């Protein structure tokens, strides 16, 4: 039996129209490096989004499903592209301006982008790549920057403001299927080709409601959100869509992402909310120690992307800025969990323990843990398994890639359609997630998992160990066993036997998890972003380049 | 182009499972009249909902789409029915225990209810009606109350606790279509037969997210909600579903709805949130003046159903209880607007002016005003029209009635599928709604509308007028014109000319809106709920029973 409810699709055009009318006086404030930032009201954004859509349709010939890419900083023009492109029925593809050139080219060609809207200051980045972009017919340039390098381009070059000028400020947004593609974003995978995630109007709308729920980011029109997380990174964590839903002002740093201007914009514009990865906050903290500023307006600093060190969290607490941990991925839109302590822990000694977890699942995200043998593990806070998630804003496949139709389970998607996150961790009975390892870094020993991260942390707590990496190496009997690669401190003389005894006795590591294979190295090899390069270490072992002692 | 997002339906079973696991220790607290209330955790509610579903399916033979009715007070058992019945794929039909017997019979027969779950204390109400209920095969009795009157029933009688005992505490909830019927509720229309509104899993899920948004009720697991609004009234305004989504405790008054026990449960259980119609709060206020209690835990008191008098709002402010005005209807699930003042007005003289409006539209509710000639009116805070709304939790038809398939526009639904609310008002440029009249009470004069409520309020502000009603009467030239029926105070001697001059000069009523037809009456006829009975007054005019003076 069907309900008697209206069948109204959940569309981005609805979020835009709502923001531009009911919250028409809310603002997008863009940093310019000038004495005054640019201030543009939601009503103006609404009018200019309509103008942009007219220009894309009438002058550039953009049609349904055409991909319109952006290569832009966080600013008001970028917000207009966020709303205009999906609302008219096309697909917004946000390009990551930090990617290596060859990946950028690969992604533009894979997505078959017809148009790129780009910040003028990024012309030097894109100009040399233009001959390699097979599908791009139009370049639309926004904001300051020398246009000269585009002179020889075969794609037509347009000025953003010229395109908008004189167009109608209203647009009869089409009534789309809510499951239609709205935006897309590629993951910058460390292995293999980048993979495209395609968000729908439905997924973005639901995710925006989630972000605005009091138990999540809980934004209202009394807030101003400092959007440091790039708009090319998972829809800026959904903040631009969420803010238009409830009239939250947005403070956009454009290209001024250095600690000093960030500190200045916080002090001057007094945002109440911010979203960024930990490294940004590390830099800001250093800046604030050099030159103190009043940053206490930031009642809520959402940190995700990677785990926030507890020391950083405490340092911000002292400045009156409250860090809220979150976990998510490009494949999860991204809000998967948020670490708001449960009511009973607030104000108690337990509170901080909850805050350093990855957080709690909302109703829209189902979670399960899968053990090494494919078995489901309980939410007991102890059983570690690979996290799998399901929900209306979670990916079931990649664009024209793994998992795509017909449904093709692989290492990222289960046969019953859940996303395999590649993260290993535990879940408490009250739904708090604590991640410990990446699945590719756990050691699969005799049908059980050994956490390399746990062994590493235990080893590094030994007073004579400077650094330690633990990797899986093949073992005839157990499948895999741990190899410990240790960097000793200058003048240290701890032997492997002593370190192994330390693990067993001081760090309480179970006996079957203790490494038999040990080696010392000068330093642990690192990736370009400073993480342990375990692939390199495993290769050195396989190549016989390590001097391994068996205990 | 389709997205790569998972196609996960929005289901009530998901809300239940989430609440029963992630928020398993949150509680439903039911008042019992005993020294201690009944406390049942969300985990227990989850287990018992599964048991109830097994019983309904295996013992009572409930199948997809079967209607399972409840005739119950607000309590934990009723919450179990809320979740079990829709989650298993059947339809929960909440019966209004305040309805006249003949309407109750009509509704049960119209919905073709197969089962009624009822509170034992309501047996005296239902027992005499049983012979008239054509489709009811099973009665399930919950809680205290003499069972004797059910002795001769042809329907099978079950004890709620006996039915649940020993059943499995898990249930493999089916993956339903989110547009499927979940619950239904009849409007108790003052004219014509009651009309059934059928909510879907989708509409209830989205409405729950809306309720939990910070700009709406903003509930989190730190809250306890006192649910005074009956569960038979528009899903208790969506509170039970919303609370399971975020772990909010519920405080349920069961049949103890009198001011004294309400005051006691507030003082003892310290709820932070409450939802009820104004009359309940009027009574509570009187009780608190007689016997002061600490009720300041109630940071948010949502009042809807009818407008809250400003004086009541101020009286509660003084007690530390913050009233938040809301507007909605059975046809709108019900949250249509909530009166949270915009950021710029908070703490200013403007704030109270915003709080007494019906409130602001959320993104999920589109609104438009239609004038007397069918024209769209601007949101200028001045142009009054009939409010029409659209959105995913708003009705497009009635169950087997007006507007039902094939789409049949009538006086409740427009040709393009919007709900015509029957309310007349204005909308400000920032989306705040102020209602002035019911559409049937406005006077359609020469293609313009005259507000009867405005004329009545103006007349009643005259020192010699005790009461005044204004109704539309037929007019050859203008279509309709206002008739003013005035009750003068004892000893008053103001003439009609003087009253008309008062309207023009003191109350600033436009000249063309001033009534020509005047009459004095002993008293204004009233309906059973104390509202002006304008139908009766119009009939007396039509029958020539009034002594009318034309000015």
- Identify whether residues B530 and B452 lie together within a single domain: yes
Evaluate the omega torsion of the peptide bond into residue A406 and state whether it is cis, within 30 degrees of 0. yes
The residue in chain B having the minimum alpha-carbon distance to the alpha carbon of residue A428 is B22
The residue in chain A having the minimum alpha-carbon distance to the alpha carbon of residue B427 is A22
Is A449 a residue of the active site?
yes
Which of A8, A19, A403 is opposite residue B392, by nearest beta carbon?
A8
The residue in chain A having the minimum alpha-carbon distance to the alpha carbon of residue B211 is A213
CATH of the domain at A123: 3.40.50.12780
Distance in Å, alpha carbon of B409 to nearest chain A alpha carbon: 13
**Cβ within 8 Å, pair A8-B429:** no
Residue where one domain finishes, among candidates B408, B438, B468: B438
Compute the distance between CA of residue A271 and CA of residue A265 in angstroms, rounded to an integer: 8
- Identify whether residues A113 and A249 lie together within a single domain: yes
The residue in chain B having the minimum alpha-carbon distance to the alpha carbon of residue A378 is B21
A465-479 burial code (b ≥16 CB/10 A, e <16): bebbbbbbbebeebe
Quick one: pLDDT at residue A122?
98
Residue where one domain finishes, among candidates A377, A407, A440: A440
Domain count along chain A: 3
The residue in chain B having the minimum alpha-carbon distance to the alpha carbon of residue A211 is B213
**Cβ within 8 Å, pair A21-B431:** yes
Residue B486, judged by CB atoms within 10 A of its CB (0-12, 13-18, 19+), counts as: buried
**Cβ within 8 Å, pair A181-B23:** no
**Cβ within 8 Å, pair A214-B218:** yes
**Cβ within 8 Å, pair A246-B419:** no
pLDDT band of residue A393 (cuts 50, 70, 90) is very high
- Identify whether residues B455 and B431 lie together within a single domain: no
Catalytic residue (one of A80, A287, A331, A456): A331
**Cβ within 8 Å, pair A246-B417:** no
- Identify whether residues A482 and A395 lie together within a single domain: no
Higher pLDDT, B438 or A124: A124
Distance in Å, alpha carbon of B522 to nearest chain A alpha carbon: 45
Compute the distance between CA of residue B202 and CA of residue B417 in angstroms, rounded to an integer: 18
Distance in Å, alpha carbon of A194 to nearest chain B alpha carbon: 15
The segments of chain B whose pLDDT lies below 50 read: 406
Quick one: pLDDT at residue B330?
95
- Identify whether residues B458 and B539 lie together within a single domain: yes
pTM listed for this prediction = 0.93
Compute the distance between CA of residue A187 and CA of residue A185 in angstroms, rounded to an integer: 7
Q: What are phi and psi of A24, to 5 degrees?
A: -60, -25
Catalytic residue (one of A237, A379, A449, A518): A449
ipTM: 0.92
The two counts, helices (H) then strands (E), for chain A are 16, 27
Which of B8, B392, B419 is opposite residue A391, by nearest beta carbon?
B8
CATH of the domain at B399: 2.30.38.10
What the block records as the tokens of A363 is 């109703």
Residue B283 resides in a domain: no
**Cβ within 8 Å, pair B6-A399:** no
Helix (H) or strand (E) holding B550: strand B549-550
- Identify whether residues A498 and A427 lie together within a single domain: no
Residue where one domain finishes, among candidates A197, A229, A257: A257
Which chain A residues contact residue B197 at CB under 8 A?
4
**Cβ within 8 Å, pair A361-B22:** yes
Compute the distance between CA of residue B2 and CA of residue A536 in angstroms, rounded to an integer: 39
Residue A317 resides in a domain: no
Quick one: pLDDT at residue A520?
94
Compute the distance between CA of residue B546 and CA of residue B199 in angstroms, rounded to an integer: 46
- Identify whether residues B429 and B474 lie together within a single domain: no
Distance in Å, alpha carbon of A446 to nearest chain B alpha carbon: 32
Residue B412 resides in a domain: yes
What the block records as the tokens of A40 is 């543009």
Q: Residue B415: count other Cβ atoms within 10 Å of its Cβ.
A: 9
Quick one: pLDDT at residue B528?
65
Which chain A residues contact residue B5 at CB under 8 A?
179, 198-200, 202-203, 392-396
- Identify whether residues B489 and B409 lie together within a single domain: no
Q: What is the largest CA-CA distance in chain A?
A: 78
Which candidate in B213, B242, B341 is best for mutational testing of the A interface (most A CBs within 10 A)?
A: B213
Which of A15, A215, A429 is opposite residue B246, by nearest beta carbon?
A215
CATH of the domain at B532: 3.30.300.30
Residue B325 resides in a domain: no
Distance in Å, alpha carbon of B316 to nearest chain A alpha carbon: 24
Compute the distance between CA of residue B108 and CA of residue B231 in angstroms, rounded to an integer: 17
Catalytic residue (one of A17, A70, A187, A224): A187
CB pairs under 8 A between A and B: 217
Which candidate in B22, B42, B114, B409 is best for mutational testing of the A interface (most A CBs within 10 A)?
A: B22
Compute the distance between CA of residue A340 and CA of residue A337 in angstroms, rounded to an integer: 9
The residue in chain B having the minimum alpha-carbon distance to the alpha carbon of residue A419 is B6
**Cβ within 8 Å, pair B4-A393:** no
Which candidate in B2, B3, B12, B209 is best for mutational testing of the A interface (most A CBs within 10 A)?
A: B3
**Cβ within 8 Å, pair B215-A215:** no
pLDDT tens per residue across span B495-541: 999 999 999 999 899 999 999 999 999 988 887 667 788 888 999 99
Q: Residue A28: count other Cβ atoms within 10 Å of its Cβ.
A: 27
Domain, as residue range, for B416 = 365-438
The residue in chain A having the minimum alpha-carbon distance to the alpha carbon of residue B359 is A22
What the block records as the tokens of A467 is 């650094």
pLDDT at A454 over 90: no
- Identify whether residues B432 and B455 lie together within a single domain: no
Look at residues A548, A31, A506 and name the one whose alpha carbon lies nearest to residue A262. A31
Quick one: pLDDT at residue B298?
93
Which chain B residues contact residue A404 at CB under 8 A?
4
What the block records as the tokens of A526 is 């690192």
Angle separating helix axes B239-246 and B12-21, nearest 10 degrees: 50
Question: What value does the mean pLDDT take over residues A503-519?
Answer: 94
Which chain A residues contact residue B245 at CB under 8 A?
362-363
- Identify whether residues A459 and A506 lie together within a single domain: yes
Residue A262 resides in a domain: no
What the block records as the tokens of A317 is 């607490």
pLDDT at A437 over 90: no
Quick one: pLDDT at residue B405?
54
Look at residues B394, B352, B357, B364 and name the one whose alpha carbon lies nearest to residue B379. B357
Compute the distance between CA of residue B533 and CA of residue B548 in angstroms, rounded to an integer: 19
**Cβ within 8 Å, pair A396-B7:** yes
Distance in Å, alpha carbon of B232 to nearest chain A alpha carbon: 18
DSSP three-state, residue B154:
coil
Q: Are B471 and B534 in contact (CB under 8 A)?
A: yes
**Cβ within 8 Å, pair B396-A429:** no
Compute the distance between CA of residue A242 and CA of residue A245 in angstroms, rounded to an integer: 5
**Cβ within 8 Å, pair A1-B65:** yes
Of A277-286, A365-374, B58-67, the least confident: A277-286
pLDDT band of residue A534 (cuts 50, 70, 90) is confident
**Catalytically active residues of B, by annotation:** 187, 331, 444, 449
- Tell how far CA B418 is from the center of its chain: 19
Q: Residue B306: count other Cβ atoms within 10 Å of its Cβ.
A: 12
Compute the distance between CA of residue B347 and CA of residue B350 in angstroms, rounded to an integer: 8
Residue A351 resides in a domain: no
- Identify whether residues B389 and B446 lie together within a single domain: no
Residue A293 resides in a domain: no
Quick one: pLDDT at residue B529?
62
Evaluate the omega torsion of the peptide bond into residue B334 and state whether it is cis, within 30 degrees of 0. yes
Distance in Å, alpha carbon of A380 to nearest chain B alpha carbon: 12
- Identify whether residues B447 and B539 lie together within a single domain: yes
DSSP three-state, residue A444:
strand
Residue B369 resides in a domain: yes
**Cβ within 8 Å, pair B220-A209:** no
Which chain A residues contact residue B179 at CB under 8 A?
2-3, 5, 7
Which chain A residues contact residue B379 at CB under 8 A?
21
pLDDT at A403 over 70: no
Catalytic residue (one of A169, A440, A444, A448): A444
SS (H, E, C) B340-400: CCCHHHCCCCHHHHHHCCCEECCCCCEEEEECCCCCEECCCCCCCEEEEEECCCCECCCCC
**Cβ within 8 Å, pair A342-B8:** no
**Cβ within 8 Å, pair A202-B343:** no
pLDDT band of residue A448 (cuts 50, 70, 90) is confident
């Amino acid at each position: 039996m069907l309900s008697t409810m209206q069948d109204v699709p959940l569309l981005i055009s609805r979020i835009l129209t709502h923001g531009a009318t009911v919250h028409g006086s809310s603002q997008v404030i863009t940093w310019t490096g000038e004495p005054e930032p640019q201030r543009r009201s939601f009503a103006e954004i609404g009018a200019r989004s309509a103008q942009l859509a007219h220009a894309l349709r009438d002058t550039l010939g953009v049609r349904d499903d055409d991909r319109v890419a952006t290569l832009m900083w966080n600013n008001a023009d970028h917000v207009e592209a966020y709303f205009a492109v999906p609302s008219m029925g096309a697909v917004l593809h946000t390009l990551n301006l930090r990617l290596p050139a060859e990946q950028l080219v690969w992604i533009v060609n894979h997505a078959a982008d017809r148009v790129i809207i780009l910040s003028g200051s990024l012309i030097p980045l894109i100009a040399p790549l233009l001959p390699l972009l097979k599908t791009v017919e139009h370049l639309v340039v926004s904001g300051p920057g020398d246009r000269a390098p585009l002179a020889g381009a075969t794609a037509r070059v347009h000025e953003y403001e010229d395109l908008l000028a004189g167009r109608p400020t209203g647009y009869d947004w089409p009534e789309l299927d809510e499951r239609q593609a709205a935006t897309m974003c590629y993951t910058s995978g460390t292995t293999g080709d980048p993979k495209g995630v395609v968000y729908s109007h439905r997924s973005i709308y639901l995710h925006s409601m989630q972000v605005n729920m009091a138990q999540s980011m809980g934004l209202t029109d009394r807030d101003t959100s400092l959007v440091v997380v790039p708009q090319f990174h998972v829809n800026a964590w959904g903040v631009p869509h969420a803010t238009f839903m409830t009239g939250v002002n947005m403070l956009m740093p454009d290209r001024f992402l250095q600690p000093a201007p960030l500190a200045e914009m916080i002090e001057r514009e007094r945002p109440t909310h911010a979203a960024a990865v930990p490294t940004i906050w590390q830099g800001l903290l250093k800046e604030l120690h050099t030159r103190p500023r009043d940053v206490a307006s930031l009642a809520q600093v959402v940190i995700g992307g990677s785990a926030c060190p507890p020391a950083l969290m405490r340092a911000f607490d002292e400045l009156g800025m409250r860090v809220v941990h979150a976990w998510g991925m490009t494949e999860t839109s991204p809000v998967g969990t948020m670490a708001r302590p449960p009511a009973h822990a607030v104000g108690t000694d337990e509170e901080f323990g909850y805050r350093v977890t990855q957080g709690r699942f909302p109703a829209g995200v189902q979670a399960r843990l899968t053990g090494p043998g494919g078995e489901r593990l309980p939410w007991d806070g102890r059983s570690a398994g690979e996290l799998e998630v399901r929900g209306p804003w979670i990916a079931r496949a990649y664009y024209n890639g793994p998992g795509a139709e017909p449904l093709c389970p692989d290492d990222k998607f289960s046969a019953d359609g859940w996303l395999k996150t590649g993260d290993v961790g535990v879940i408490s009975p009250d739904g708090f997630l604590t991640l410990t390892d990446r699945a590719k870094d756990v050691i699969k020993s005799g049908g059980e998992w050994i956490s390399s991260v746990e062994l590493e942390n235990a080893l590094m707590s030994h007073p004579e160990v400077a650094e330690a990496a633990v990797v899986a190496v093949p073992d005839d009997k157990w499948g895999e066993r741990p190899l410990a690669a240790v960097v000793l401190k200058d003048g240290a003389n701890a032997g492997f036997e002593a370190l192994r005894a330390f693990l067993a006795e001081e760090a309480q590591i179970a006996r079957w998890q203790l490494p038999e294979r040990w080696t010392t190295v000068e330093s642990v090899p690192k990736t370009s972003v400073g993480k342990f390069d375990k692939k390199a270490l495993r290769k050195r072992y396989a190549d016989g380049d390590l001097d391994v002692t068996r205990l």
